[in-house]
Structure 1
Amino acid sequence: MSNDARTQQEDAYLALQSTDEFQALRKKFRGFVFPMTGFFLAWYFLYVLLSIFAPGFMGQKVAGNITIGLLFGLGQFVTTFAITFIYARWANRELDPMAERLGARLDAPKEV
């Protein structure tokens, strides 16, 4: 790809990036991802802090050798998979159609 073609492609992307539609896409993405990340980090740090400052609580047996700490740890994996599943469904429904429309504008043949 020549430098001229690359510059034209970069200019087209920068022009698309400044549109209201692109900004709406970014806002929608951030509106989902930032709160979900905050939730997961709070949940993770709760687990870590309880492990450090409440070992008696985390060591309480629930059934057999299964402790509350073990359930919290397994809950981290369950939460990770759930967030991934929720995001994939949400993105397919909400984000991808908007992104595809913007991508089609970027890929459309340009008039010279």
Structure 2
Amino acid sequence: MSAESQPDVTDDIDFVAERDSEEFQELRKTHRSFVFPMAIFFLVWYFAYVLLADYFHDFMSIKVFGNINMGILLGLLQFVSTFVITALYVQFSNNKLDPKASKIRERLEKEGVN
């Protein structure tokens, strides 16, 4: 059995020119406009939780309801915030990033690059 070798479609792409294209730069700018602020928000929120757990034992041991205290509640909210950020990113990507990426892909395909 021999497999037919297919031509490398990336041979025809000028990656540097594509990276420098206005469309691609706009896509990167849009991506960064969401990712960096959200990453900063999450890291601040996470380290606030860690610092509260380490230095504010009295606050973290406040009972909220039953045997659930602030530490457990804030810890569970870490998971909730992760899922919320993920859902927000998926929505952002679907609405903002994917249309721009599709335009770039379509342009490249029209130029003969798959």
User: Which TM-score band (shorter chain)?
Assistant: 0.7 to 0.9
SS at 1:62's partner residue?
A: strand
Give TM-score, length-normalised by structure 1. Answer: 0.87
What amino acid maps onto 2:37 in structure 1?
P
Per residue, is there more helix in 1 or in 2? 1
Q: Structure 1 regions of 5+ residues with no counterpart?
A: none
Q: Report how many aligned residue pairs link the two structures.
A: 107
Identity %: 47
Q: What amino acid maps onto 1:74 in structure 2?
A: L
Cα drift, residue 104 of structure 1: 1.3
Runs (4 or more) in structure 1 with deviation over 3 Å come to none
Structure ranking higher on relative contact order (CA contacts 8 Å, 6+ apart): 2
Which is worse superposed, 99-108 or 74-83?
A: 99-108
CA shift, 1:8, in A, is 2.3
Q: Structure 2 regions of 5+ residues with no counterpart?
A: 1-5
Residue of structure 1 in register with 2:58 after alignment:
56
Q: Residue 15 of structure 1 aligns to a residue in which SS?
A: helix
Please, what TM-score do these two structures have when normalized by structure 2?
0.86
Q: Does 1:14 align with 2:8?
A: no
- When the two chains are superposed, the root-mean-square deviation of aligned CA atoms in Å is 1.5
Provide the residue aligned with 2:3 in structure 1: none
Change (3 A) 1:14 1:106: farther
Residue of structure 2 in register with 1:23 after alignment: 25
Return the letter of the residue paired with 1:49: L
Shift of 1:109: 4.0
